[in-house]
Amino acid sequence: MKPRPDETATAEELRKRIAAQFGRSLHIRTMDTGSCAVCEQEIRLLAAPHYDLHRLGFFFTPAPRHADLLLVTGPMVRAFEVAARKTYEAMPGPKVVVATGACALGGVYQADPFVHGEVEAVLPVDVWIPGCPPSPLALLQGLGVAVGRLAEKMPGLTFVADGDGDAR
Amino acid sequence: MNPLDLLYGAGGAWLAAALAGLLAGSRRPGLQACCALSAVGGAAAAAGGGWSMVYGNTGLVTPGGGPTIVGGPLQLQATSLAGVFVALLGLVAVAIAWYAPRYHEPGRGTALYLAAYNLALLACLAVLAAGGMVTFLVAWETMSLACYLLILRHPRSDASARGAFWFLALSEIGFLLVVAAFVILSSKTHATALDAMAARAHLVGGGWLAAAYLLALIGFGFKAGLVPLHVWLPEAHPVAPADGSGFLSGVVVKLGVYGIALFAFRLDPVAGAWPGLVTMGAGALTAAIGILYAMGERDIKRFLAYSTIENTGIIVTAFGAAMIFHAYRLPALSAFLLIAGLYHVANHGCYKTLLFLEAGVVEHATGTRDMDRLGGLVHRLPRSAVIAFTGTLGIAALPPLNGFVSEWLIFQGLFQGFRTGSDLYGILIVLAAATLGLTGGLAIYAFVRGFGIPFLGMPRTRQAAAARETGQPLAGPGLLAVACVALAVGAPVMLAALSRTARTVTGVTLGPLLLPGKLTVLPAHADFSAFSPTYLAVFLVAACAVPALIYLAGRPRAASVSVPVWDGGMVSFKPRMQYSAMTFSAPTRVTFDALYRPAVSVTRASDDDPAGRSGPVHYEAQVTPIFERYLYRPVIRAVEWLADGVRPVQSGDVNLYLLYVFAVILLAYLLGAV
Amino acid sequence: MPLWFARGLRRGVVTTRYPARSDPSAASLPTPPAFRPRQLTVQIVDRMIAECPGTALSRAASTLVFDVGACTACGRCARVAPHAVTPSGEFELAATARSALVKMIPIRGEQR
């Protein structure tokens, strides 16, 4: 969603193009860069009848050549870096990268000889979806934000509660 | 002026080429002169053959008059039936003549080879232009011997000697049977000229006619490559030089088919439909078995040899069905299938020769014929790849090329089997069509493998990566590729010529039942089906052009990025991880396991480690050569046993020999007295 | 097979209407905490930071820096200071900028 160095469109043009192209038909390629696989289970639930992402026009595809969106979980272990780059490069533009899960967002592991710690270290991430694991509803909202169908709520949230609770 | 004069010119040119090759072939100018003469001869032959397709049979000519040294007169006649074969011979000769200078290195071996090759061309021409039995047989044997020398280009290699020996041995057995067939016909009709034999054939008893036909079918079947008489093909083709293999598959095998057609349609009108049934059954079986064995081959030339066997089967099936329709008094369908079979002869000659020549180019460029060591040649040999792809499309019978046209014609003829009125024959003809359908499907599979593994993907070895196109012959195969396209788009022209041929051979004029308009083809009946090869070709090209135009005229293209092939994200992807030729054909080999009966041997570094972690696992699977093991080896053993039994007669004892002399003189005296 | 079909027909449509309509199961999801600034003191905040198994909480002078992206909704910070922390109930947390996931919460509680 941010213009890549090799793209000439502005961010706004790109956003419009992504909304027009992917708004109703999106192919998602999932990539696990070393997670505990619970995020994968939540992602898999998206295809189940209760959440059913197909009704929104989203599909899973194993081939990066056919994919529009790369859904990345896991803290990007260094052993996976080559495969991650190859997968990203194999996707034709325009493409969107979504990092999901606390591991992928850099909240669990610090960078060390075996792991980068966050997906942003290797791939240019467009949308972050927190959660451990993110529920399928959160994933649906994140995907909707990624294609411009839903508005982001995070900038408006403060995580400040009113009231005193139980005074000590 | 008639076509025979052009054939004289061709023969003369080839004789001169043989002499030039023999005397001067050790040097490059001599090599080029020989090839130039060969090309001239080829052009004359192509023109003569094409002309005689429409001209009809010329009269019998006896040059030199009277008996010659082999006991019979030299009788020549340019017939319509042979016209297709002569035209094919000429075209193949021109293509090989343009190919040979860049393929062969001048030297003594090449000189002898070129002399043998041009002699073989001359002998083939003589077979096709033979008007009499003796000429035919002498020319046939000369052709066999010349081809034997051709195959034996590298006499010091064991494989070469073995391949040439198989060719010669089976040729000779076939020749004996052919001689027997001709002798039966000739003695019963009291004639040696083929026209006279044909005219008097109806006077011969049915049993003799049947015997002669069966002998001819088996005898010519050895040359044509009918199963189980085919075993010389996969042995001889890999060891011959590429243009020799192309010549063998493109022309020599067709001479066997010509012989069968000669007996079936001209010389030997056997009553009843069973000879046609036997022929059709043999053809269908050959086609299926041929392509099944082709699936298991890694060597490109062995693969192409088995594909030749498959196509021979298709042609012979068409001829067999034509004989059945003739017996059931459906002359139009019979003529139609004859036309379809001859068309397939021409098509197969073009694209098979092309593929063998390209196999030679690949072998020269990379040093190997093994598909599993090649790959990625489309980038390194781009023009050869395009030419090879044209040939592959043709042989896989994909529209709009020529293979599709002739196979469509054969299928349309076979589907009309119900018109015979006989339930049994109708079902059998449809079974033959089903077998050909299986063959066609497997052929596409086999040739996706045959073109895809060596040419597409990534090179599997360094030799494949180092292939270069400079200095490789292009003109010869290119000519054949152009011929393939011309035979497809110009199908109406070819069919018009072939229908004139059919009229000369069978007396049936198809006319509007075959070509009602300028461009449409009907299968001998107005209400069955129709098809226009020209419109199909134009439509397919246009259909491909429309998306291309939309793409070019559409919205502005985004900047395109070139990225490596998607390999699953593997860190170190090795080209050997791609499909290999044997894994690609594994589904077929597993399904038809009963035919291949592979002998599998697996050896591991240590027995309690199935996964091979302690050392390499060696896996070897060998197709059981069932024909050699269960048919030929017992025959060979029987002959050896017989020879062993007869050996005591030649004991070396002079006294015994004197006894023989005495016994023979006594016998002769007694016989003379009686 | 017919039994399964009949059971399914009886159950009706089970697919959620989210995002067009809210999903009732969202109410039971574990969610990141919301903080009450007036109940936060530096000591409480430091205790919470020590309890947090990840890197979601840190302190910059008198501001609690809460990285929502690093939060696993484990609830340990709520156990430490139950009156200062309450579940936010927010599960629609996607952001197009990483910085939007880092929230600054002022510490306004009086020292006791």
Given an 8 Å threshold on Cβ–Cβ distance, is A137 in contact with C23?
yes
Given an 8 Å threshold on Cβ–Cβ distance, is B571 in contact with A6?
no
Q: Is B489 helix (H, G, I), strand (E, B) or coil?
A: helix
> What's the pLDDT band for B71 if we cut at 50, 70, 90?
low
pLDDT digits (tens, 9 = 90+) for A8-18: 566 777 778 77
What distance in Å separates the CA atoms of residue B620 and residue B598, rounded to the nearest whole number? Answer: 9
Given an 8 Å threshold on Cβ–Cβ distance, is C101 in contact with A131?
no
Cα angle value B6/B405/B311 (rounded, 5°): 75
Q: Where in the sequence is the domain holding C75, given as residue range(s)?
A: 23-106
Provide the mean pLDDT of chain B: 90
For position B69, what pLDDT does the model report? 59
Contacts of A64 in chain B (CB under 8 A): 566
**What is the amino acid identity at position B104?**
H
pLDDT digits (tens, 9 = 90+) for B1-45: 788 889 999 999 999 999 999 988 888 898 999 999 999 999 999
- Indicate whether B342 pLDDT > 50: yes
For position A168, what pLDDT does the model report? 39
B83: which 2 tokens?
A: 């016209």
> What's the pLDDT band for B156 if we cut at 50, 70, 90?
confident
Q: How far is CA A93 from the centre of its chain?
A: 16
Residue ranges of the alpha helices (H) in A117-163? Answer: 136-146
For position C49, what pLDDT does the model report? 94
Closest approach of B573 to chain A, Cα-based (Å): 11
Which one has a higher pLDDT value, B549 or A104?
A104
Question: Which residue from A105, A138, A167 is facing C92, i.e. has the nearest CB?
Answer: A138
- For residue A142, the number of C-alpha atoms closer than 13 Å in the C-beta half-sphere is 33
For position B598, what pLDDT does the model report? 87
C45: which 2 tokens?
A: 């905040």
Q: Per the domain annotation, does C1 fall within a domain?
A: no
Q: Residues of chain B with pLDDT > 70: what percent?
A: 97
For position A110, what pLDDT does the model report? 92
**In the 8-state DSSP scheme, what is residue B453?**
H
Q: In angstroms, how far apart are the furthest CA atoms of chain C?
A: 69
Number of structural domains chain C divides into: 1
Contacts of A6 in chain B (CB under 8 A): 559, 561
Please give the average per-residue pLDDT across B192-206, as a whole number.
Answer: 86
Q: What are phi and psi of B603, to 5 degrees?
A: -120, 135
Task: Answer for the pair A98, A125: CB distance below 8 angstroms, yes or no.
Answer: yes
Tally of CB atoms within 10 A around B107 = 13
- B559 inside 8 A of chain A by CB: yes
The DSSP result for B600-614, as a single string, is: EEEE-SSTT-TT-SS
First to last CA, chain B: 57
- Indicate whether A6 pLDDT > 70: no
What distance in Å separates the CA atoms of residue B495 and residue B513, rounded to the nearest whole number? Answer: 12
When mean pLDDT is compared across A65-69, A131-135, B271-275, C41-45, the lowest value belongs to B271-275
For position B571, what pLDDT does the model report? 77
pLDDT digits (tens, 9 = 90+) for B414-473: 999 888 888 899 999 999 999 999 999 999 999 999 999 999 988 999 988 898 888 888
Given an 8 Å threshold on Cβ–Cβ distance, is B561 in contact with A8?
no
SS3 content of chain B, % helix, strand, coil (to 5): 75, 5, 25
Phi-psi map region of B615: left, alpha, beta (phi>0 left; psi -120 to 50 alpha): left
- A49 inside 8 A of chain C by CB: yes
What distance in Å separates the CA atoms of residue A29 and residue A98, rounded to the nearest whole number? Answer: 10
Report in angstroms the alpha-carbon separations of B524 from B339, B340, B515, B533: 11, 11, 9, 16
- A43 inside 8 A of chain C by CB: no
Rg (CA), chain B: 27
Strands (E), B307-382: none
Given an 8 Å threshold on Cβ–Cβ distance, is A90 in contact with B558?
no
Touching pair C, B by Cβ (3+ pairs < 8 Å) = no
pLDDT digits (tens, 9 = 90+) for B581-615: 989 999 998 899 888 888 888 888 777 776 767 77
Provide the mean pLDDT of chain A: 89
Domain boundaries, chain A: 27-150
CB pairs under 8 A between A and B: 26
Contacts of C69 in chain A (CB under 8 A): 102, 105-107, 128, 130
pLDDT digits (tens, 9 = 90+) for B88-127: 999 999 999 999 999 998 888 899 999 999 999 999 999 9
Q: Per the domain annotation, does C47 fall within a domain?
A: yes
pLDDT digits (tens, 9 = 90+) for C60-95: 988 999 999 999 999 999 999 999 999 998 999 999
Q: For residue C23, give every residue at least 6 positions away whose Cβ sits within 8 Å of its Cβ, in sequence order, or none.
A: A137, C16, C17
Task: Answer for the pair B477, B95: CB distance below 8 angstroms, yes or no.
Answer: yes
Contact residues, A window 69-128, toward C, CB-based 8 Å cutoff: 102, 105-108, 110, 120, 125-128
What distance in Å separates the CA atoms of residue B223 and residue B120, rounded to the nearest whole number? Answer: 14
CATH number of A27-150: 3.40.50.12280
What distance in Å separates the CA atoms of residue B427 and residue B443, rounded to the nearest whole number? Answer: 24
Residue in C closest to A159 by C-alpha: C34
> What's the pLDDT band for B57 if we cut at 50, 70, 90?
confident
Question: Which residue from A108, A138, A163 is facing C93, i.e. has the nearest CB?
Answer: A138
Long-range contacts of B60-63 (CB under 8 A, 24+ apart): B60/B131, B60/B132, B60/B193, B60/B195, B61/B4, B61/B131
Task: Answer for the pair B499, B324: CB distance below 8 angstroms, yes or no.
Answer: no
In sign, the C-alpha dihedral spanning B357, B358, B359, B364 is positive
Task: Answer for the pair B316, B324: CB distance below 8 angstroms, yes or no.
Answer: no
Which one has a higher pLDDT value, B268 or B474?
B474
Contact residues, A window 84-143, toward B, CB-based 8 Å cutoff: 84, 86-87, 89-90, 93
- Indicate whether B388 pLDDT > 90: yes
For position B88, what pLDDT does the model report? 96
Report the run of H or E that residue C104 belongs to, with start and end: strand C102-106
**In the 8-state DSSP scheme, what is residue C12?**
-
What distance in Å separates the CA atoms of residue B256 and residue B283, rounded to the nearest whole number? Answer: 13
Given an 8 Å threshold on Cβ–Cβ distance, is C93 in contact with A120?
no
Domain boundaries, chain B: 330-551+580-584, 590-606+614-623, 626-673
B590: which 2 tokens?
A: 């597993």
Top residue of C72, C108, C112 to mutate, by most chain A CBs within 10 Å, is: C72
Q: In angstroms, how far apart are the furthest CA atoms of chain A?
A: 59
Q: CATH number, domain at C54? A: 3.30.70.3270
What distance in Å separates the CA atoms of residue B145 and residue A39, rounded to the nearest whole number? Answer: 75
